[in-house]
Structure 1
Amino acid sequence: MKHIEVVAAIIEDNGRYLATQRGYGEFKDGWEFPGGKIEKGEERETALRREICEELGATIEIQNFLCTVEHTYDTFHLTMHCYICHLASASHIHLLEHEASQWLGVEELLSVDWLPADVKVVESLTTYLQNNK
């Protein structure tokens, strides 16, 4: 089975977290944390900054590593490394690859139809936030 390794940004702003809706591909219309594939020889944090710039036209500051999620889809196995981030000052979100985005408060995190691997990230984020009040 094919293995794909990606990074994802859990972008926080004033207690709200950015969810993005895929605009293409097999999982079109599913909700996810933005990010993408790590290129060969690329460091995870470098890949994350590059992917967020490509997908959202934004610059981020990486705060903390949150978790690594493993999930097997029908046609591939996904390893996703997730980081809590903030937008760099004066940076703004521009949807370059996604159909839509929403800023969700903690109580709203389950209000969108997350892709299966991202459901695991939401669970990790919720636990992290409860433990760091």
Structure 2
Amino acid sequence: MDITFTKDNKRFKYRASALIIENNHILLQNIKDYWAPPGGKVQMLEDSRIALKREIFEELSTDIAIEQSAIFIEQTYHSQEKSFHELGVYYFCHSKSLWDRGTSIIGCENGEDMEYRWFPIIEIEKINLQPAVLKDKLLGEHKIFEHIINHE
């Protein structure tokens, strides 16, 4: 059971996401009109690392190596239909097997094809990355754990 619930037009979710970096490129997932790190919802009684490995395997049929915790983001944001409150745990990860699959990868999420693409980290400012606060983390020199509270 995913740790998520909806009441009226408000939704809470707990996610784990992978900052998969190989050869100064990051793998991102296309979600409508923006890009985001791959990952998914944490399930009840599941820790975030196990959830992340499970989600990546489900979506991309491969294992990842989790290097270290990167960032914990508490955020609220709004779409036309709903308001969201999300807790997101992000990990620096590696996957040589994903890098070897090429610049663009088709994965599967909830039975539908999903596009994943490698982007040069130095060009990350040019894309619509969500959450946007990740850009500073990716362009920074220090890989220290951070806790960010962000309201959009």
- Fold-level similarity (TM above 0.5): yes
Partner SS for 1:114: coil
Unmatched segments (≥5 aa) in structure 2: 1-9, 144-152
Alignment correspondent of 1:53: 57
Letter in 2 for 1:113: N
Partner SS for 2:139: helix
Alignment correspondent of 1:106: 121
Shift of residue 41, structure 1, vs aligned partner: 0.5
Q: Give the distance between the partners of 1:83 and 1:73, measured in 2 at CA.
A: 21
Residue-by-residue CA offset, 1:45-82 (whole Å, 9 max, x unaligned): 00000011111222100001100112212212011100
Shift of residue 90, structure 1, vs aligned partner: 4.3
Alignment correspondent of 2:48: 44
Match of 2:135 among 116, 122, 128: 122
Q: Give the distance between the partners of 1:69 and 1:82, measured in 2 at CA.
A: 8
Partner SS for 2:70: strand
Alignment correspondent of 2:17: 8
Alignment correspondent of 1:25: none
Partner SS for 2:46: coil
Shifted more, 74-83 versus 100-109: the winner is 100-109
Q: Give the distance between the partners of 2:97 and 2:30, measured in 1 at CA.
A: 24
Q: Report if the CA contact (8 A) 2:121-2:138 is conserved.
A: no
- Runs of 4+ with >3 A deviation: 89-94
Shift of residue 101, structure 1, vs aligned partner: 2.4
Letter in 2 for 1:64: Q
More helix by share: 1
Q: TM-score, normalised by structure 2?
A: 0.71
More strand by share: 2
Q: TM-score, normalised by structure 1?
A: 0.81
Count of equivalent residues:
122
Shifted more, 4-13 versus 70-79: the winner is 70-79
Q: Give the distance between the partners of 2:62 and 2:22, measured in 1 at CA.
A: 14
RMSD, aligned CA: 1.9
Alignment correspondent of 2:142: 131
Q: Report if the CA contact (8 A) 1:56-1:96 is conserved.
A: yes
- Higher RCO structure (Cα 8 Å, ≥6 apart): 1
Q: Which has the larger radius of gyration?
A: 2
Alignment correspondent of 2:66: 62
